[in-house]
Structure 1
Amino acid sequence: MTNRADTLLNETIRAGLKQALKDSWSYSQYREEMARQVEAGETSGIQQSPDRIQYTLLNHRRMKRWEKTFRFPETVASKIKDLLAATSAPKRTWLVLTETWCGDAAPMLPLADAFARAIPGIDLRIASRDDHPELMEQFRTDGALSIPKLLILDQNQEKVLAEWGPRPVPARKLVQDYKAAHGKLTAEFREELQQWYNKDRGQHIAEELAYLL
């Protein structure tokens, strides 16, 4: 039996998903909006700080690099091939809540787009976290409104089948260890984290996303 609290929670999520999808961008639209923000000296979200505006510029450049250089690891490419060979591959919507200043989204979004281009059944949509606080509230990570947050939706776009984010397991441990030692993330650490992503070449993100297929 579903209790009232569960019913209200499910209704909140369904309503939030419906609005976020209505407001969402395709990947190409998101990249166009990001380019516009860079040109205008802006960022997305509530806080229009100089740091976040600068992060948006950096992420725009990083995403260009990921779009040019990313290749699926062999194990992931094999899994995609097997999925495409199946006659009943399900349709899924991948809804990502994020903001353009988010450094962890810089590698994740181009990889998610690569999956969507490789697998016709995946529809990638991107929405602003700050524009959809009630939905984001239901998908905190360790109590925080961490992004990017990927929600994998069923064919009817009414149920969350799986979630991922904000970063792959090894990067998550790096962040946790640094916070435990220093209290908060510094600009220097954020740059080190980007270097880790570059050295990893997207392998861990790709493997974790492939696990959710």
Structure 2
Amino acid sequence: MSSTPASAATAVLTPERLAAAYSYAAYRQLLDELLAQGLTTGPNQSEALLHYAKLNEQRMSRLDKTVQLLPEVTAELARLQGQYVWLVITEGWCGDAAQLVPVIDAIARASGGHLSTRYLLRDENLDLMDRYLTNGGRAIPKLVVLRADTLAEVAQWGPRPAPAQELFLGLRAQQAAYEDIKTQVHTWYAKDKTLHTQQELVALLRQLA
């Protein structure tokens, strides 16, 4: 792909704002520090959100240790030529983020330096979040792929793999209880074992090669 000069018209965010975003290690450290204080990310705090945040820390820790990249993922990573930033909009209380962010970061770490990840909290970056709404809502996580040199958008993905999104929307249309929706969606993630997430990210990688 040919590069284009960076400009305010094409860059999704400034280099300074990107530099202030969290690395994965810093994001995880932030979540741990907040949990130690009985808090989670974002302006809204409640026992329910704290409960979700604790579950999410366990989910991320498990996935960090168990994610195994598919052969097609490593094959696409080997074809990459350019340098890209995978910018992820997320929050510590978001269950979907806990299921997906470790997979996103594992793929980036395996890229041989072609991909780097940075993390921004949704509720501290609503101007950016509102460019990437899903059905009019601020659904997360949202992955925005940027050229490293121009910070221009190349692709985007999220907030869920297509089968999980279909399940979620179907349950909402049936007016299922919130806890039932959460249980069924997380059960889907557990059974899927990151397969559809990785397959959809392979399709995204093919747009970059």
TM-score bin, normalised by smaller chain: 0.7 to 0.9
1:121 and 2:117 aligned: no
Question: Would the aligned equivalents of 2:72 and 2:202 in 1 still touch at CA under 8 Å?
Answer: no
Deviation, 1:38, is: 1.4
Residue 3 of structure 1: aligned partner: none
Displacement, 1:40?
A: 1.0
| Identity percentage of aligned residues | 34
Give, as a single letter, the amino acid of the residue that structure 1 aligns with 2:67: F
Cross-structure match for 1:83: 79
Give yes or no for contact 1:149–1:163 (8 Å, CA) kept in 2. yes
* Structure 2 Cα separation of the partners of residues 193 and 79 of structure 1: 28
Q: 1:77 to 1:14 in 2, by over 3 A?
A: closer
Q: How far apart, CA to CA, are the structure 1 residues paired with 2:15 and 2:169?
A: 33
Aligned residues: 198
Deviation digits for residues 50-80 of structure 1, max 9, x if unmatched?
Answer: 2111111100000011111111123323333
Gaps of 5+ in 2: 1-6
Q: Structure 2 vs 1, CA of residues 58 and 202 (structure 1 numbering), >3 Å: closer, same or farther?
A: same
Deviations 1:74-98 (A, max 9, x none): 3323333x426xxxx1100000011
Rounded Cα–Cα distance in structure 2 between residues aligned with 1:13 and 1:57: 38
Q: Is the 8 A contact 1:12 1:135 kept in 2?
A: no
Q: What whole-Å deviation, never above 9, does each CA across 1:172-194 have from its counterpart, x for those lacking one?
A: 00011001111x65123212211
Q: Are 2:7 and 1:43 aligned?
A: no
The SS at the match of 1:177 is helix
CA contact under 8 A between 1:72 and 1:203: conserved in structure 2? no
Normalised to the residue count of structure 1, the TM-score between the two structures is 0.86
Structure 1 gaps, min length 5: 1-9
| AA of the residue aligned to 2:46 | S
